[in-house]
Each structure stands twice: as structure tokens, then as C-alpha cells.
Amino acid sequence: MDLHLDPSSGLPAYRQLAAALAGEIRAGRLAVGARLPSERDMAESLKLSRTTVTAAFRELESQGLVRGHVGRGTVVLAQDLAASPDGLPWRQRASRLATPPDTRGPRPAEGADLIAFADGWLHPELHPRAQIAEALAAAQQDMSGLLAPAPILGLPILREGLARMLGARGVEVRPDEILVTGGAQQGLNVVARALISPGDAVLVESPTWHGAIRAFRAAGAEAAGVPMDREGVDPDALEDALIRLRPKLVYLIPSFHCPTGRVMGLERRRQVLALCAKFRTPVLESDVYGDIAIDGPRPPSLKSLDTAGLVIHQGSASKTVGSSLRIGWLAAPPGAMELLAAAKANLDLSSPTLPQAVLAEFLQAGALSGHLARFTAALRRRRDAMAQALARDCPALTFQAPEGGLYIWARLPPQASAADLQARAAALGLSIRAGDVFFPEGGQDRHIRLCFAAPHADRIAEGVARLGRALDEAMGAGGPAASGAGYAAV
Ligand SMILES: Cc1ncc(COP(=O)(O)O)c(C=O)c1O
């Protein structure tokens, strides 16, 4: 925070401080839910009397922007009450568990010239459009089926197709051990509602998919990060956290992890399963990227190695067939399935039948394997184009090109901040994702995540050139960022 008070301004210091803090809040640099430094720390760091800081906090409180809580300090309540067009100060009424509004920094304006590296969408050219159209035509043949009451677990023909698909991947489950969800994101919320009570701990890799952190927090859980190495979650740190925190769940993305792209090795998978079995802790395995094996065979899922009945397996059509279908699934042991089905019914009764029928027809027509072959070949070209452009135009970044998945996770040099780079890139018409959101412990990070599936293939080089310009700016005026190329060849 940049809080400069001007002794010559004639305004009392507490008023100036309150105005400066209100400015930070309105600009979003102090987000709703953020805690202000303690009065004592602020008085010390600004060389002001404690009374001045107390008066400034009171002033902000009287404006409704912050509230002091005994034991929790002073928390930002609302961004700008005066400017609220909604009548009520809604943010003050937010549930304690509500997901905070998006504070991920400036986003480039949507437009023809925007190049999107930030999010994990598939560019339209990557969708199996012709086969989806055929599946849609086939699904329409059975209008009575589409309009019949939808079972909570999902359409039987889809669950049969998914059970066959999972079986071919070494995951032996019956159709009634599969629950269809509204994308994998709803699956996370279903599991959270079914297994987590407020105050429980959930272990997650650090970093991890930020949507999972949000889903667990919305259920009142503490999402505790466990560090990773090149092979995934660190087993010693995992064991330590299992002992200390007695978590209700361990959430892992072992194959082509988001955001890092890493793959957990086979031995590590066995070790992690053995640890979770020892502490009788369920594992939610996200395998949403497992089919996107660009360079080699698909890694075996944890579920296929699970002999203790610990693993709830999660998949999604979003990252391979199309995210607008909003179809994901959970495969779970029968005892867990009862709880998951009840939580799903509570959320939305059941998923819409039309997208389910389309995916079922797509699977039944045998369209998936041909699509995956073409899809991963196209992703290989995109990944290589991005990696080569990064080595050329952003030599200050360090990264390992991933063997699968949709993202390159790149580390910035020490003098650059990811949030600042994201803002500078946005100003140049490029969206990137600063790494901060993926860390459950919060704070600033020096990574960025770049999706090579979302932009038009022909725009990847131009996007990286923009990133290079933003990076040069972020590292100080003039001159390209120095230091050796960080591109580790695949
Ligand atoms: C690990 C992980 N899980 C879930 C999701 C959300 O998937 P869906 O579109 O199926 O809800 C994402 C999206 O990026 C993800 O990375």
C-alpha cells in the first residue's frame, strides 16, 4: 500500500489516512474481506500516533467501508457504498462463506484484438464440431427420453458410456457408481457439501485449481496447501499435514496438474495412496486433464490403483469435448455415492438431459478416441509454438514445457510481479493468469499460467510478443529482459 500523508495539506492526519485507505479500498487494492494491518503496526510503519490510526479506522467504519471485529482485526466490508447503485449495501450482507467477488486484477476488454491465454477454454477449432452435431441429431430422435424426468445420477445411457470409457482406462466402475455433474466444478461443490463441515481441513496441492479452493471454502473448510516437487505432492509434507490437520479430504490433480502441468510418477501415486489409506482419509482425484496426454501414454489414474476404496474420481468433458456442455462426473464407491447423490439433488435435482444425451451419443458412436488423437496433435503444435515463442520473446521466463494438459506455467524473474505483469499484459490486449490465485495460502506469487488451447493457433506468436513487451515494461524501462533462456526442451 502506498499511503503518503502530506503534513502541509491542512487536513488532519487521521482524515488523510482514512481517505488514503478508502482510495485503496475503492481501487480494489484492499479487497472486500481483506484485513487491514493492526492499528499498532500501521501507527509504527507510518510513524503516526496510535490515536490517529484509531480515528482513521473509526472514520472508515462510519462510512461503512470496514468493520472492526474483536480478535479478528479490521476487515474491509464494502468497496464503495456511496457509489452503490443497488440501494442496499449488498456486500455487507454477504454470507461469511460467500465466494469473494473477483479481485483478480484488470482484465483486457473483450474484443476482436484480445488474445486470451488466461483461462482453460478450448478454441472453437479444437472442438469435434461435426461429431457433436451428429450426436445432437441422434439425441433429438428420442424426444420422449429427453423430456422424461431426469434421474439424479444422470441419464443411464451416459453413465453406461462413461463406465465403458473409464473401464478402458483401468477404472472398473458400474454405471450406478457414476454421478453426472454440471461440469467438474459442480462436482467439487457436490463433494464439499457431502463430506465437509465448517471448520474441517481439506488438503490440496499448493498450487492448485483455484475453483477447488473456492468450493472447499464455500463449505466452510480450511484449504491447506501441501507443497509439490516435480513429481507432484511432496509425500513427507503430506504425511505431516495428515497427522497435524486430520483433514476430511485430500484433493489432488495427479495428471497434467493445473496450473503446473506436472505428472505424478507411478511410485509417488502408490506412496500417496498408501499414506491416505494409513490415515483413512478419502482422496478426491481430479482427472480432468488425464486424457490430454500430448507426448506419451495416458498416466494411470489413482482410482485405477486404489485397492482401499478411498478414491472419488472426477472427470469432465470440458477440457476435451467442450466446456459448454457443462458435463462432468464423479465415480465413487457405493457408500460415498449415496452421500454425493443427496448433495447433488440438493444443488439442482439433476443435470439437464440434452447435453447428457449428446455426450452419450458421442461416446456411443466411438467418436472420442479419434477426436483425442486429432486434439492432442493440435495441442502439441500449439504448445510447441508457445514454448518456442516464449524462448525467443520472453527469455527472462523459466518454464518446463508440459507433457500434457492445456497450460504452460512460467516463473518470472525476481524483479517482476505476476499481478503487475497481468495488468500490463491486459493493457496490451492479452489476458494471462497471475499465479497468486492458485495458492491456498494467498500472497504474491512469481508465476503466470498461459493456456495454449484458448487462443486462435495463428495468434499464439503475437500473444507471446505482447507478453514480451509487457515483461520488458514490468522489469524496468528499456531493454529486453536479460538472463538465459529458461525453455527446457520437451
Ligand atoms: C482441475 C480443474 N477442475 C475443474 C475445472 C472446471 O471444469 P468444468 O468446466 O468441467 O467445470 C477446471 C477448469 O479449469 C480445472 O482446471
DSSP codes, 124-168: GGGS-HHHHHHHHHHHHT-HHHHHSPPPTT--HHHHHHHHHHHHH
322 lines ligand 1 (CB under 6 A): no
Query: For residue 486, what pLDDT is reported?
Result: 37
Distance between CA 74 and CA 68 in Å, rounded? 4
Q: Which three cell numbers stand for residue 71?
A: 480478535
pLDDT digits (tens, 9 = 90+) for 161-217: 999 999 999 999 999 999 999 999 999 999 999 999 999 999 999 999 999 999 999
Distance between CA 238 and CA 119 in Å, rounded? 29
- Classify the C-alpha dihedral 274-439-421-463 as positive or negative: positive
Query: For residue 71, what pLDDT is reported?
Result: 66
User: How many residues can be counted in the chain?
Assistant: 490
**pTM given for the model:** 0.84
Q: Among 313, 72, 97, which Cα is nearest to 188's?
A: 313
Output the CA 210–ligand 1 centroid distance in Å. 9
Q: Which residues of the chain have pLDDT under 50?
A: 477-490
Query: For residue 96, what pLDDT is reported?
Result: 83
Check: CB of residue 470 under 8 Å from CB of residue 428: yes
- Ligand 1 test: best mutation among 162, 179, 284, 319, most atoms within 8 Å of CB? 319
pLDDT digits (tens, 9 = 90+) for 76-104: 887 776 656 667 777 767 888 888 777 55
258 lines ligand 1 (CB under 6 A): yes
- Ligand 1 test: best mutation among 314, 318, 433, 437, most atoms within 8 Å of CB? 318
Distance between CA 37 and CA 45 in Å, rounded? 10
Q: Among 317, 294, 303, which Cα is nearest to 272's?
A: 303
Distance between CA 161 and CA 443 in Å, rounded? 43
Q: How much helix, strand and coil, in percent to the nearest 5, is found in the chain?
A: 45, 15, 40
- Ligand 1 test: best mutation among 209, 252, 287, 330, most atoms within 8 Å of CB? 209
Distance between CA 468 and CA 393 in Å, rounded? 5
Check: CB of residue 253 under 8 Å from CB of residue 195: no
Report the Cα–Cα distance between both ends of the chain, in Å, rounded: 41
Query: For residue 103, what pLDDT is reported?
Result: 58
Query: For residue 110, what pLDDT is reported?
Result: 65
